[in-house]
Structure 1
Amino acid sequence: MAIWYIGATSGKTPPCLLFHNIYITPPKLRTLSEISRHTFEDIITTVAAHYTITSLREYAGSTDMVLTFDDGFSSIKEHALPFLETHGHNATIFIISGALHGSSPLDIYGKRSYLSAADIREIAERGFEIGSHTMHHRDLRQLSLKECLYELEGSKKDLEDLLGMPVEALSFPLGLWNKRVLSLAKQAGYSRFSFYTGMPSRYTATPPHFAARGVYPFDSPQDVLEKLQCRPRYSQGRTRGAILPHFAKGTAMAKYHPSYAPWRIFTPQHDFRYQQNTYQ
């Protein structure tokens, strides 16, 4: 899936890309957020001919393209980062910190392996930015004030304790947010934000907000480039980018871990940190 950044004064939308799961052996397709390593490399090679590929932290202007990964799957380290390092690219990896404690906070992808604490430390030491994707990947708009701050502050603390450095970037779960959630995220100490949606030219977000677009398994590198450049207006790539986010998540195509349910009563027992698991 892709992201783009909306400039403060130019009104243009410098590009960004967001990916989730990268695979070599084709899995049974459960979502539209899984692509092959070959497709990923083709897309990055095509985009790199037009932009400098970097992280949210290092974004410096419209000649840059911000690359991010949501959810923190181990496939990122295995199949994406070596290629990026070989070609001098950077990225931001958003982590669901509940996965660090031995339990998968969502089952949208079925059984998938997450980055370990040691993996995350290594990735940060290699120069990639680590950001938060909250504790349990829940729709923050549906939570009480206490629950929302818990999701935001708990993940930030987990990651900062792990890395020994500030974690300032946040990707909203499911890309969903509102003014209240954004205010609470700033209160929790975040200063860079990513959210997922279609192709909304109507958004007037200013730095440091990043709005997400989609890259799907059937998108060609040229399709992705069209989305990033916001042209041509009626291309197939742009059309899919506008329509498919409505179906990629939150529908019958995806099911979530019971802990995601917004009406769940908040108790510490639901926190994966209270299970007897420790960092490896």
Structure 2
Amino acid sequence: MLDALKRRSGMIALEGGKNLPPIIYYHRVAPGADPDTGVTPPAFDRQMGILKSLGFRGVSLREALKSDASSSAGMICITFDDGYQDNYAFAAPVLEKYGFRGTIYCVTGKMGEKTAWADDPRWVGHRLMTGSEARELAARGFEIAAHSRTHPDLSSLTGEELWTEVRGSREELEEVLGETVETFCYPYGFYNDETREAASRAGYRAARSTRRMRPGKTENLFDLPARSISGEMSLARFAVTVSGFRLLEGWRSPLPPVFSDGESSS
């Protein structure tokens, strides 16, 4: 019964009996961000304030993987896909304000450039953080992790092409950071058995997807589920979502002030 509650409430039940804190993910945090692709800095600040008021501690996936049952209490993994420069400029200072950290997944072959890998114009033309910005964030306690070299659909690649994107991304980022890169995130959330095997063989400890948890199922470290957070999510919905994660531990903290259902987080 308790295991089922954990899976429903956001705790990730892994094969072998270990549990991992829930994972949420963002893309952009920027003024005027399209609600489909990001949140504004004030909205992000309010969301992090809700997490803090509920007693959560925002951490990187790397830190969560190193935790045990006692030290993981109250953790929530905060992650960002693609490595946008606005993560450096706007998201990181807000996280630090609340004593949080997180994981930023960088497209290593495109650092410092503008996004150009999607057909949808909402995703095109946004500046990615530079290597020096990534190094600075790593020095400030953030996990900088790999998101492929060029952001392809990895499930469509095989052999050397796949290996270059998965292992090559880790090698490039380790050269930039001067430290071991431990986790990976699949571009677009697309992967298959060969992709997962490549991530494991490349030396990563875990890989995050974009799918939600499967109730009643155990999860694989190279297929970690996560909850997407966008500007379309109202503050009320965000509060209910994350408070559901907290119910896992049987904590009884009250919800933050009630927000109207129609209040936008953007």
TM-score range, shorter chain: 0.7 to 0.9
Counterpart selection for 2:12 from 6, 10, 17: 6
> Does the 8 A contact of 2:78 with 2:103 survive in 1?
yes
TM-score using structure 2 length? 0.77
1:37-91 CA deviation, whole Å, 9 max, x = no partner?
A: 1111111111222211111111132421000111000101111111111221010
The equivalent residue for 2:26 is 19
The equivalent residue for 1:149 is 163
Distance 1:10 1:222 in 2: 33
> Does the 8 A contact of 2:108 with 2:149 survive in 1?
yes
1:161-202 CA deviation, whole Å, 9 max, x = no partner?
A: 111111011011111222221111111111121110145325
Counterpart selection for 2:41 from 28, 37, 43: 37
Structure 1 residue matching 2:171: 3-state secondary structure:
helix
> Does the 8 A contact of 2:103 with 2:145 survive in 1?
yes
Structure 2 residue matching 1:205: 3-state secondary structure:
coil
1:118 positional shift: 0.8
Structure 2 residue matching 1:53: 3-state secondary structure:
strand
1:104 positional shift: 3.7
Structure 1 unaligned blocks of 5 or more? 233-280
Structure-2 change in CA distance of 1:13 and 1:162 (3 Å): closer
Distance 1:105 1:168 in 2: 26
> Does the 8 A contact of 2:26 with 2:230 survive in 1?
no
Tell me the matched-pair count: 226
1:208 positional shift: 6.8
Structure 2 unaligned blocks of 5 or more? 1-9, 248-266
Structure-2 change in CA distance of 1:216 and 1:153 (3 Å): same
The equivalent residue for 2:5 is none
Two-structure CA RMSD over aligned residues (Å): 2.4
1:224-275 CA deviation, whole Å, 9 max, x = no partner?
A: 233342699xxxxxxxxxxxxxxxxxxxxxxxxxxxxxxxxxxxxxxxxxxx
The 5-angstrom pairing of residues 63-212 of structure 1 reads: 63-100=74-111, 102=113, 104-107=115-118, 108=120, 109-201=123-215, 203-207=217-221, 210-212=224-226
TM-score using structure 1 length? 0.73
Structure-2 change in CA distance of 1:12 and 1:191 (3 Å): closer
Distance 2:167 2:116 in 1: 17
Distance 2:46 2:82 in 1: 22
Structure-2 change in CA distance of 1:62 and 1:196 (3 Å): farther
